[in-house]
Structure 1
Amino acid sequence: MRLSLKAKVLSLAVLPVLIFALVISATTVFMLHRQAEREVSDTRERLLSEAKATLQNYVAIAMTAIKPLYEAAAPGDETARANAIKLLSSISYGKDGYIFGYDSQVIRIFRSNSPDGVGKSFNDARDANGVYINRELVAVGKAGTHYVMYSSALPGKTEPVPKIGYTDYLPKWDLIIGSAVNIDGIDAKVAEVRQNVEARLKEMLYSILGITVLVLVIIGVIGILMAGTLLRPLGLMKNNLDDIAAGEGDLTRRLAITSNDELGDLAGSFNRFVDKIHGMVRQVSEMTGQLNGLVGEVSSQAQRSETAMDRQRHETDQVATASIRCRLRLKRSPRARRVPPWLLSRPTSKGTPPSALWTAASDRFMRW
């Protein structure tokens, strides 16, 4: 594909900016996307940490409520244990927060003030993801790690929601007490944060795109102006060379040097070249005039030579004619034997034309 010099100049002006803008845009998009994911992840972690702290505070309140009983009781004191269970069963918080308790065998001891499942083993109870819920609650309570993530259906519903549980262990009574909260609200808030972040990201992308287009337009306009400025001397040079090639060139015209850059140097070189050509053409013209004069002189000399040769041929013809007539008369005349010897043998005087000599001889012969 053939590109004009103007197109090449514009390409050199626009393409680097376009490539730079694409690289910057891609890098910005990547970084913004990572920042958005980090912000969403940080928001989730922050909300989850807040939920964990809230849950820990609720269990700590329950532990504080039974602390005097626990500290005063001896190991295996069932009366103190029963009083503590009664007290814990009456504790509730928020809309549906409650305290539950299990022993080391994962047998439910209490669940708020509800008798549902009390005395039943939940060792094999699992959620939809295969997590042994109650077994893990007992294990983390005894291990001191406290937290378990699982899912469970809300009362009266079948669709499971994500939950987080917190448990603590009372070794004197072999009792695991804890509580759990739903974290589906966290997921909703995280989704809202993600939506807001994506909206900001899209707005920033539109801004980057608009700025990129604006910069490209400005660079394009500047490139067009610069291309016109740079190519105008070249166009003038081309026109002058075309005129010279067509045989109608005015060798007295010169390019105006309007800059001190390479184009100005090129215009100066072109002017010097035209000066050289102009001088050569002038010399050729002068030599042609001189040659025409010499040709005229040679032609005149040739004409004079031809005239002289014609006259010489005419005189020769006259001599030949006179000679023939003399011979004929000599043959016919009886006095031919008496022709004087001097007439036949006399040499031609130097400078005497043959025609004059023969004419004189003929006249004398006739008189004789």
Structure 2
Amino acid sequence: MSRIDDLIRNLCPDGVEHKTLGEVGEFIRGNGIKKSDFIKQGYPCIHYGQIHTHYGISAAETISNISPEQAIRLQKAQPGDLIIATTSEDDDAVGKATAWLGTTPVAVGGDSYIFRHSMEPKYVSYFFSSTTFSQQKQAHITGSKVRRIAASSLSRITIPTPPIEVQHEITRTLDRFIQLEAELEGRQHQYAYYRDILVAPRSPRESVKLGEVSHIARGASPRPIRKFITNDNGIPWIKIGDVPPQGKYITTTAQHISTDGAEKSRQIKPGDFILSNSMSFGRPYIAKINGCIHDGWLVISNYEKTFDPDFLYHVLRSSPIQNGFAQRAGSGTVRNLNSRIVSETLVPAPPIDQQREIVHLLYKFDLLVNDLTSGLPAEIEARRKQYEYYRDRLLTFPEKK
């Protein structure tokens, strides 16, 4: 960080001027792109939902296109502009931005703003991801179920405006953190490739329909659920938030339901698999507790005659199975993975002794890559926290008097 410190001492010894976003640029509302408008080839475009799910601090290519005839009518981001998603159900995601670094303009859909400004593009995008920006925007977010922020409110948020040389150096430093995290995640992709090869069926005869060798059912929710939530010796009520993103087992829950509620729900036992059938659908977890699942889950049980549980876990996590779930769950705004889809899924089922050999081969590699305390996820999380610390530190300046 010494070069940045030297630049600040030399170029702005009396502090850094803070300006409102409205003083350093203008906000232009995007318009009129639906997912149904996408075509394979055409004019590049960015839909606000893709800012939440696909794009990071910056982008130089798009994943979607629309017809040139439609593009004529739409607002365009120019190279260097920010594209900002202005709506979400999650406050943290409101105002998420990406700097457009492509060589040509890009069409921008509704629920987005284009921010045309006079600063280093990625510096501004990093600012939009910072704690300082998050704290300032919170007072301006409106709406109940759908949360949003207006251009007039964004215009009042203040940003430090150090000399452009400082902006460039801060960007280069933060880029290095992002690159390191990407390299670590690349090692996880290597593991996934190795796992997919090991669990792949050796012949068509080795595959079976999952529903023929196990019992698959949907969860159930007693309604209204608030009547059945209890703190007194109830039965664990399993929700998405109870399972860590990179975890394998369900060991505890934040809430419990009464025995009356459990009778109207779907009860599971240790060893059962559960899969989310909507958000993050298809991601498997293994229960280590007795509990109940709502209708956002599927349960796989009674598989033990055919599968070693660890082998089945690797199979369900494999790319061919996950991609198959994604394709068959539909391409609409809300995807749904139902019990029929899972039951009809072909999965490899070699003899159990071979399954255990494969599990043993994957064990040490899995420990290195996926262990939450000592493997890559722990290292990635440490690097992410380090990045967030330095991002907020580097984007905080004494204000010029």
Classify the TM-score, shorter chain.
under 0.3
Larger RCO, structure (CA 8 Å, separation 6 or more): 2
Largest Rg, 1 or 2: 1
Between Structure 1 and Structure 2, which shows a larger proportion of strand residues? 2
In the superposition, the TM-score normalised over structure 2's length comes to 0.20
Between Structure 1 and Structure 2, which shows a larger proportion of helix residues? 1
